[in-house]
Amino acid sequence: MAAIYSLYIINKSGGLIFYKDCGTKGRMDTNDSLRVASLWHSMHAISQQLSPVNGCTGIELLEADTFDLHCFQSLPGTKFFVVCEPGTPHMESLLRYIYELYTDYVLKNPFYEIEMPIRCELFDINLTQAVQSDRVALLGR
Amino acid sequence: MAPVGPRSGDAIFSSIDRVNAELFTLTYGAIVRQLLTDLEEVEEVNKQLDQMGYNIGIRLIDEFLAKSGVSRCVDFKETAEMIAKVGFKMFLGVTASVSSWDADGTCCSIILEDFPILAKVFTTAMS
């Protein structure tokens, strides 16, 4: 069963606010994950400049030999990206579902400060449920 | 897979969890009452309410975008329509209409009929 390796959420300024690794492969410590997130933020921004087409919204999919990276940027600028096994289906739906979870369990949490690292229990619980492989298949309906 | 198109305010309103309108109205009334007690000046209270509204708004926009699936608006007219038709319907269940556009298209009025909060407002008459 194709697997999700990790999930990152980046705020508008490019700082990592959430990192979850789901598998045994590709684990990173805190500093590395922060660095990687900032790099991705910059690459995403550069890709919009490089695009020959007007109105490009940045990289949505990066395919490599050993992984795929799917990225979703909300209109206000928060980026959600997931690193998964090559060919994992329904990742875009998963990212949109995670965006909904973010609006429901993070933004509505009165103790959560905008743009700060996410430490919301309900978000963690619902996210763990969402990335279980059988749930991901349901998203692809 | 095909992207999901924008959903109507009604569809979203019926699909998400709601609270009792009375609870909402009375809670809001209690907040305003407390602010008046604390700050005393109507101007100050209005400023504070404006700030609270702004803070709520910046969190609400992500939920609005996530649930409704609308894309970027082309101009301010479209933004106003979106807020009136989808936004208010989705969050408060009330329909609003946009009117009184000025010549530049930079200023308009959003009219709400039957706003739930107003059901409990009493104004005193000065004799």
Mean pLDDT computed over B47-59: 93
State percent of chain B over pLDDT 70: 91
Show the tokens assigned to B71: 């894309």
pLDDT at A1 over 50: no
Note the CATH number of domain A4-137.
Answer: 3.30.450.70
- Each domain of chain A, given as residue ranges in start order, spans 4-137
pLDDT score for B103: 84
- How far is the C-alpha of A130 from the C-alpha of A116, rounded, in Å? 23
Of the residues A56, A72, A75, the best mutation for testing chain B's interface (the one with the most B CB atoms within 10 Å of its CB) is: A75
Beta-bridge mates of residue A72: A80
Read off the pLDDT of residues A70-115 as tens digits, 9 standing for 90 and up.
999 999 999 999 999 998 888 999 999 999 999 999 999 999 999 9
Give the Cα-Cα-Cα angle B34, B39, B41 (nearest 5 degrees).
Answer: 115
Nearest CA in chain A to B63: A103
Give the gap in angstroms from C-alpha B52 to the nearest C-alpha of chain A.
Answer: 12
Overall size of chain A counted in residues: 141
A46-55, A126-135, B19-28, B58-67: the lowest-pLDDT one? A126-135
Provide ipTM, 2 decimals: 0.82
Q: How many CB pairs under 8 A join A and B?
A: 37
Q: Is B65 close to A100, i.e. CB distance below 8 A?
A: no
Per-residue confidence band for B43, with pLDDT thresholds at 50, 70 and 90? very high
Q: pTM for the full model?
A: 0.87
H helix intervals, B1-127: 9-15, 21-39, 42-68, 76-82, 88-92
